[in-house]
Structure 1
């Protein structure tokens, strides 16, 4: 495959895969750690920890993008991986709930700086449009493989050991990822045309607000977060308390969602070459609205079963992949090359702002008022996001401001119109 013939991309992709699997093991282990410390209140603890994560993502990601052109990106990515590995190594030592919150804050601060920097590096290494589209798909496949296989590996491991040992595997993953990053020739960021950090942060947000398709992406972020919060926050208590399952069962149910994401991601690369990103992403929104509605029905009718849960979790996984996978292509087609880091950071921050809204609903409301009320609220938010996306992102959204921006930067109108039409 031509894409993997690019040495630096190959090494960065390997770093991403290894770090993703480490993160996946951490997700499973953190949920079990919360249950071990808080029991029935695990959802509230996990919801609080993930809310802290979202706050840091919303605040730090755009600032990281604003200053990224001032530091060597390879060294920055390496150091952030090392920090994450060290923090995760300390998680098995916690004995109080507040310890979780402090370590998660440190871990996610590093992740909030790492992710937009990493995403912005890829288009500088993979310059061909077709290869870049496949790079986006490969990245999503890696994420889906992690969401599928990490819970499975965790389920097998938990048969023989305590969940605390999963944190050690995560730490090792981050350190290996750091070494792979160090082996690449990551180009430094292009100097931004904006003078101050605030101007850089504001530029990415303004781009989203004035571009129809990106306003649609903002609404779709809410759909993803509303459905995904049910899986991420409530799976542990739903499996352990409602279904009476074990630690391994938690991992297997999470793997069901990963299976749905994987199936969709494997089918998308060729589909994206023929079908507009908007069509695919709106289909994903419909799937997620259906998935959250089914989850509410499951609880309202007191029909919670292993089969029903697995099917709904799989459907949610499919819908999330249909929205997330094409997003990078839409972003790249909507901004000038020098604005790519700002655009990715803005998307990273805005998408996690949506999770900041939905995580507390799933965690706090789900624990205090029950799943029926919490999941109903999330289903309403998913539906609102889907309707908003349809209204904000017209079927024929025109090129307007976006064409002017990209054309001015590249001076290649015909190429820009081609790439924009593919994205829209």
Structure 2
């Protein structure tokens, strides 16, 4: 996996991605503490709205911006997006009203939604060989998992001797270093090609594939479980740490780090697990763990006024990270096995839109209901996870769901035949 870093251009781009991710992770912690300073116990509502705006920017604005910048040089697009994000990071410490947070988050996430697809489109050109490209994808996934653990730990260390506003400076520094690394890279020329379909044309076409493919319909239920579990963590961690347990700023970073620990416990072991169990069974176990963890969150929230410890919350967040990773990481196998070279772009676009749509309702539930009652928010999210998990389990059992990869593992000699039978 690490051999791809011998390519100097990819090495610089990967380092730019990692450093920008670390900066974004610091921003997550700082934004939560800023929301608590502005709205105290209603911080969850502010964060829920801000994260909902983030999803709107990703789904609604990103395709429009991508179309506008498609014919521009990729280096100019990446650098411009990083500079916008740097400026917003330095502006956030100055805000005093929730609407200012919403406006800046919208611009910031629109810039991120511009950077990410432009960055991803470069990798196949930098690493055209299929095996190297696959290794680059694995390395990128590892970077995301490590960021969820390392960023809160770095934030916790910094918060022990500086105010949380300095985390925004760290975020800006991350974007500045990312910009310099992109500028130092010799990027390949990618000829402009007219896409066969626009984003908004690909979504309904991809949804049609989801609707007629059993494994992808199962994936939609799994997306719901992953969204509700993640939403409680990202939206309400600051309310638990600062408002319920009355702990310091460092406690928020540690709480978020526990979610990252759970994710990191699962992610490296996914290949080993999938060699012994089917993709569907692995995802069902993850969904069950998320549901159990959300039910634990209900109990912890109800017992907190009677002295339930912060440690129980940390254990619950670790379980949520573990379960979410078991649900989300294998999902790419379902997408790959249920698509063909001709419709793969449609399927992945539909998954992007549909999975983000789950967050569009999960974030407001966690934030807006949580601002009235944390217990009610945890209970509603746990109920949704339970319903989706039960529905996914019944659907999988009735349809006897197996992917082409599962069949290939159990019947190697019939692999080519099974792959040809995979539904388009």
TM value normalised by structure 1:
0.85
Tell me which residue corresponds to 1:260: 262
Tell me which residue corresponds to 1:168: 169
Question: Is the CA contact 1:226–1:381 (under 8 Å) kept in the aligned structure 2?
Answer: yes
Tell me which residue corresponds to 1:380: 383
Tell me which residue corresponds to 1:364: 368
Tell me which residue corresponds to 1:207: 209
Q: Aligned runs of 1:103-114 on 2, under 5 Å?
A: 103-114=104-115
Gaps of 5+ in 2: 405-414
Q: Distance in 2 between matches of 1:209 and 1:70?
A: 33
- SS of alignment partner, residue 219 of structure 1: helix
Tell me which residue corresponds to 1:350: 354
Output one character per residue of 1:238-260: Cα deviation in whole Å (capped at 9) or x when no partner.
11121121111111111111111
Q: Distance in 2 between matches of 1:237 and 1:138?
A: 33
Gaps of 5+ in 1: 400-413
Question: Is the CA contact 1:362–1:374 (under 8 Å) kept in the aligned structure 2?
Answer: yes
Report runs of 4+ in structure 1 exceeding 6 Å deviation.
65-68
Distance 1:106 1:193, change over 3 A: closer
Question: Is the CA contact 2:280–2:401 (under 8 Å) kept in the aligned structure 1?
Answer: no
| Deviation for aligned residue 1:160 | 1.6
- SS of alignment partner, residue 330 of structure 2: helix
Tell me which residue corresponds to 1:246: 248
2:237 to 235, 240, 254: 235
Q: Distance in 1 between matches of 2:133 and 2:274?
A: 12
Q: Aligned runs of 1:80-229 on 2, under 5 Å?
A: 80-119=81-120, 121-122=122-123, 134-182=135-183, 183=185, 185=187, 188=190, 191=193, 194=196, 198-229=200-231
Tell me which residue corresponds to 2:310: 306
Number of aligned residue pairs: give it: 409
| Deviation for aligned residue 1:51 | 1.4
Tell me which residue corresponds to 2:287: 285
Moved more, 230-239 or 139-148: 139-148
TM value normalised by structure 2:
0.85
| Deviation for aligned residue 1:292 | 0.6
Q: Distance in 1 between matches of 2:154 and 2:138?
A: 23
Question: Is the CA contact 1:18–1:177 (under 8 Å) kept in the aligned structure 2?
Answer: yes
Q: Aligned runs of 1:29-108 on 2, under 5 Å?
A: 29-63=30-64, 70-108=71-109
2:335 to 331, 335, 340: 331
Q: Distance in 1 between matches of 2:206 and 2:82?
A: 25
| Deviation for aligned residue 1:350 | 1.9
Q: Distance in 2 between matches of 1:271 and 1:136?
A: 19
| Deviation for aligned residue 1:119 | 4.3
Q: Distance in 1 between matches of 2:416 and 2:140?
A: 25
Question: Is the CA contact 2:59–2:353 (under 8 Å) kept in the aligned structure 1?
Answer: yes
Tell me which residue corresponds to 2:298: 296
| Deviation for aligned residue 1:318 | 0.7
